[in-house]
Amino acid sequence: MSPACVPQESRAGHSVAVRQFSASTALPYEHLERATAGLGADLRQRLLHADVHEMPAWETFTVTGPHGFTDPRGRVWFEYRVSVKSRGPFDRTPGVEPQRT
């Protein structure tokens, strides 16, 4: 998993830091559903162990692949990559109004 910091403008015009986390895997077979589930779980575990204090914005979770390649032994592998952006614990989700009681 490699975190990347991407600057993003907030509604108030202030610059806020949005981090993007990503992971990848190669499987000996083509299976998008298994790759997505496995990489999502791996990303959750890595974020917990890294003691990241931002929440993953799972609505930004994206999967790319499969990208087939052949290893030196002639076997075909399929690479999948996932990424998810984070938000701070007090950031609001755009378009979602807070509940008022």
pLDDT tens digits, 81-92: 999 998 766 665
For residue 28, is it within any domain?
yes
For residue 41, is it within any domain?
yes
Predicted pLDDT of residue 76:
97
What is the separation, in whole angstroms, between the first and last Cα of the chain? 40
For residue 36, is it within any domain?
yes
Mean per-residue pLDDT over the chain, rounded: 79
Q: With bands split at pLDDT 50, 70 and 90, how would you rate the model's confidence at 100? A: low
- Number of Cβ within a 10 Å radius of residue 79: 15
For residue 94, is it within any domain?
no
For residue 93, is it within any domain?
no
Q: Which domain holds residue 35?
A: 4-87
- The DSSP-derived string for 5-46 is EEEEE-TTS-EEEEEEEEEEEEESS--HHHHHHHHHHHHHHH
Which CATH number belongs to the domain containing residue 34 in this structure? 3.30.1660
For residue 92, is it within any domain?
no
Question: CA 7, CA 3: separation in Å to the nearest integer?
Answer: 13
For residue 99, is it within any domain?
no
The answer to whether residue 22 scores a pLDDT higher than 50 is yes
